[in-house]
């Protein structure tokens, strides 16, 4: 390196670049904490598991519980509701992924893959519309259940069927199924 | 300002001061002596009104922040505390809440004024773009402010709007959870919204300064859309327009006061007096009236990503408006076709606002789709084509000529009425 030859990079160029690079790395390393502080903090992340007693639930009834700040729908379906959901051709669904955390991510959206137990009686889903996050109607007896007898989101008109799959409206995905299991006959653990 | 300064320091002290910080000179040249077209009508007084609104929101907001508590468990009660216990708290909160609506009312008049008189055309493109930036910042500020009282509409409005980010492919959920600071709208969300709601009005203030700077470089547009050519086309801002602006502001304040004292809640939603409940969505979520047209556009599109993109495009298209309108004639007064399309566009926007307040089903949905399509057709087809096919009316040689002609016509009419 020679300071004389104007075509060659000089020592000064080198110092200039090195200083610039150093400042850029420094700025980035302080920017990240400022960005990351907004991410869910330790209390939000603390693995929350809840246990729900479902022994009082008759067929055709549903309850809503709160998990990680969100509603979770637990529904004990009637034979008719199961029939309605299993008759559907999966390929005709807007979203043919099961969206079930307990299964592999590419499972098909069949009714068996959506329900928690072998008989298909129990449906456990995050009660958050996959459009823009409203809580769909359909848990209470008097609620409008939409065109497919499951849930209806009044915010922008999404219709879910009796397996919580999106059938009509702006939402693109089926209702999410969280990690859930029966720890005994009467208790479901979510999370 | 590019014109020469007309400031003459009057005292020894002001001369001494002027040589060290020419702030009084800057204010004199830009406010008192600023040469302004002589034919500005009342639609041109809304800039002053908007400045007043911004200051009002900042002053009342700082006072509210002295009594408000940004905590999911306490926020709702603290707003009730402001309403019931704080001296004049009810008044200050109502000024702030109604003030947000009045601010948007004024900004819409201001924007549609610009659309009518072609104020976005050369050389005022940057001025226009800065205006759109201010509008965008206002929307974000008002949205965050509406979350603070932590009522049902606050909570569910925040949920729906923050969920818009989840449509971004791949990183959508990560971004949404980053915005929330959790897995749903919650305490962390409320706290950051309060912090940003406090900050953003000051950012708006900064952009307003750039907006006015740019205005003072290009000068005002005016109702005939002809550029200022000679000195007699203008009058000094003070006293001519300070008085006109003040009169207009007083009329505006009468309406403002009517809302505050007689109907403070009519523009809001009763559900917001119910505390936020994450398990129950209100039957009918609607944003504040000033965002309804965009809400209608969002819901008109049957796909989630599509709805968000089209809604974003509805604002984004305003940025490129100066290059979409191919007509060189500024004022709609001399554009017989544009004038008609302008009013169709106004009606279309009002219709979108109405549709945004209705359930998106049946005929309402069909109508929202038609109106959404027309919104874009106006910008993407009507404006470019009109400029090419329309035959403008003869344009006055100068502002002064136009003003004198108008007076002559008026005199003649009066005479014939007498006769
Ligand atoms: C561009 C200017 C501003 C706009 C458009 C705006 C808008 C709003 C809106 C719509 C609300 C909800 C009102 C309600 O329903 O109760 C609100 C609340 C609030 N704002 Fe602002 N604001 C602005 C400036 C400010 C500033 C500068 C501050 C603080 C320095 C502030 C502090 C607050 C506080 C503490 C609340 C919660 C109390 C309440 O809900 O009344 N605002 N704002
Ligand atoms: S949030 Fe459910 S349809 Fe939009």
Instruction: Compute the mean pLDDT over every residue in chain B, rounded to the nearest whole number.
Output: 94
pLDDT digits (tens, 9 = 90+) for B214-247: 999 999 999 999 999 999 999 999 899 999 999 9
**Is the pLDDT higher at B411 or at B131?**
B131
Task: Give the pLDDT of residue B108.
Answer: 98
pLDDT band at B162 (very low <50, low <70, confident <90, very high): very high
Note the pLDDT tens digit of each residue in A19-66. 999 999 999 999 999 999 999 988 887 757 889 999 999 998 999 998
Q: What is the pLDDT of residue A47?
A: 59
Q: Is A100 in the pocket of ligand 2 (CB under 6 A)?
A: no
Spell out which residues of chain A touch residue B179, defining contact as CB-CB under 8 Å. 38
Concerning whether A156 is annotated as a catalytic residue, the answer is yes
Identified catalytic residue from A14, A132, A156, A172: A156
* CB distance A134 to ligand 2 below 6 Å: yes
CB contact under 8 A, A38 and B182: no
Q: Whose CA is nearest to atom 3 of ligand 2?
A: A156
Q: Is it the case that residue A134 has pLDDT exceeding 50? A: yes
For the domain made up of B27-418, give the CATH fold.
Cytochrome Bc1 Complex; Chain C (1.20.810)
Q: Which of B72, B156, B157, B163 to mutate to test the interface with A (most CBs of A within 10 A)?
A: B163
Residue A188 has pLDDT above 60, yes or no: yes
Q: Give the per-residue pLDDT at A1.
A: 47
Domain boundaries defined on chain B: 27-418
Stretch B346-371: mean pLDDT: 94
Cα–Cα distances in angstroms (integers) from residue B219 to residues B119, B156, B210, B239, B343, in the given order:
11, 44, 14, 18, 27
pLDDT(B54) > 80: yes
Band (pLDDT 50/70/90 cuts) for residue A128 is: very high
CB contact (8 A) between residue A154 and residue B279 = no
CA of A155 to the centre of ligand 2 (A): 5
3-state secondary structure chain B: CCCCCCCCCCCHHHHHHHHHCCHHHHHHHHHHCCEEECCCCHHHHHHHHHHHHHHHHHHHHHHHHHHCCCCCCCHHHHHHHHHHCCCCHHHHHHHHHHHHHHHHHHHHHHHHHHHHHCCCCCCCHHHHHHHHHHHHHHHHHHHHHHHCCCEHHHHHHHHHHHHHHHHCCCCHHHHHHHHHCCCCCCHHHHHHHHHHHHHHHHHHHHHHHHHHHHHHHHCCCCCCCCCCCCHHHEEEHHHHHHHHHHHHHHHHHHHHHHHHHHCCCCCCCHHHHCECCCCCCCCCCCCCHHHHHHHHHHHHCCCHHHHHHHHHHHHHHHHCHHHHCCCCCCCHHHCHHHHHHHHHHHHHHHHHHHHHCCCCCHHHHHHHHHHHHHHHHHHHHHHHHHHHHCCCCCCCCCHHHHHHHHHHHHHHHHHHHHC
């Amino acid at each position: 390196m020679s300071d004389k030859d104007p075509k060659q990079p000089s020592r000064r160029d080198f110092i200039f670049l090195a200083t610039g690079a150093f400042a850029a790395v420094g700025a980035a390393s302080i920017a990240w904490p400022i960005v990351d502080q907004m991410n869910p903090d330790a209390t939000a992340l603390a693995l929350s598991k809840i246990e729900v007693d479902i022994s009082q639930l008759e067929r055709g009834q549903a309850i809503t519980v709160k998990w990680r700040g969100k509603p979770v729908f637990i529904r004990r379906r009637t034979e008719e509701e199961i029939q309605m959901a299993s008759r559907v051709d999966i390929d005709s669904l807007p979203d043919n992924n099961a969206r079930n955390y307990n299964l592999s991510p590419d499972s098909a959206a069949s009714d068996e893959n959506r329900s928690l137990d072998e008989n298909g009686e129990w449906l456990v889903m995050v009660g958050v519309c996959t459009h823009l996050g409203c809580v769909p109607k359909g848990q209470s007896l008097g609620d409008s259940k939409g065109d497919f007898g499951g849930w209806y989101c009044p915010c922008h008109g999404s219709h879910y069927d009796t397996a919580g799959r999106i059938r009509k409206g702006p939402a693109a995905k089926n209702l999410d199924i969280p990690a859930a299991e029966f720890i005994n006959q009467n208790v479901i653990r979510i999370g | 300002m590019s014109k020469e300064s007309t400031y003459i320091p009057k005292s020894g002290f002001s001369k001494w001061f002027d040589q060290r910080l020419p702030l009084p000179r800057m204010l004199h040249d830009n406010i008192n002596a600023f040469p302004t077209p002589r034919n500005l009508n009342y639609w041109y007084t809304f800039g002053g009104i908007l400045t007043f609104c911004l200051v009002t929101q900042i002053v009342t907001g700082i006072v509210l922040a002295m009594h408000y508590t940004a905590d999911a468990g306490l926020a709702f009660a603290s707003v009730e505390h402001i309403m019931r216990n704080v001296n004049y708290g009810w008044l200050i909160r109502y000024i702030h809440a109604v003030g947000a609506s009045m601010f948007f009312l004024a900004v819409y008049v201001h924007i549609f004024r610009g659309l009518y008189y072609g104020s976005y055309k050369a050389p005022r493109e940057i001025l226009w773009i800065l205006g759109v930036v201010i509008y965008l910042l206002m929307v974000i500020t008002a949205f965050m402010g509406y979350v603070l009282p932590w009522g049902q509409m606050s909570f569910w409005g925040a949920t729906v709007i923050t969920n818009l980010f989840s449509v971004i492919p791949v990183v959508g959920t990560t971004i949404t959870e980053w915005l929330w600071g959790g897995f749903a709208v919650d305490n962390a969300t409320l706290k950051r919204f309060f912090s940003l709601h406090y900050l953003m009005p000051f950012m708006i203030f900064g952009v307003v300064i750039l907006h006015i700077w740019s205005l003072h470089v290009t000068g005002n547009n005016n109702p005939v859309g002809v550029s200022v050519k000679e000195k007699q086309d203008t009058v000094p801002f003070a006293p001519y327009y300070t008085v006109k602006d003040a009169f207009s502001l007083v009329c505006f304040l009468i309406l403002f006061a009517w809302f505050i004292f007689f109907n403070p809640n009519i523009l809001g939603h009763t559900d917001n007096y119910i505390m936020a409940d994450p398990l129950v969505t209100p039957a009918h979520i609607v944003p504040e009236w000033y965002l309804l047209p965009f809400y209608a556009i969002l819901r008109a599109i049957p796909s989630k990503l599509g709805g968000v993109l089209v809604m974003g495009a509805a604002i984004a298209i305003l940025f490129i408006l100066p290059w979409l309108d191919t007509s060189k004639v500024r004022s709609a007064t001399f554009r017989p076709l544009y004038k008609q399309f302008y009013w169709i566009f106004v009606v279309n926007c009002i219709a979108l606002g109405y549709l945004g307040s209705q359930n998106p089903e049946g005929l309402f949905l069909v109508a929202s789709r038609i109106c959404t399509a027309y919104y874009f057709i106006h910008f993407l087809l009507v404006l470019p084509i009109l400029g090419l096919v329309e035959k403008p009316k003869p344009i006055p040689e100068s502002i002064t000529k136009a003003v004198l002609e108008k007076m002559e016509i008026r005199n003649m009419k009066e005479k014939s009425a007498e006769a």
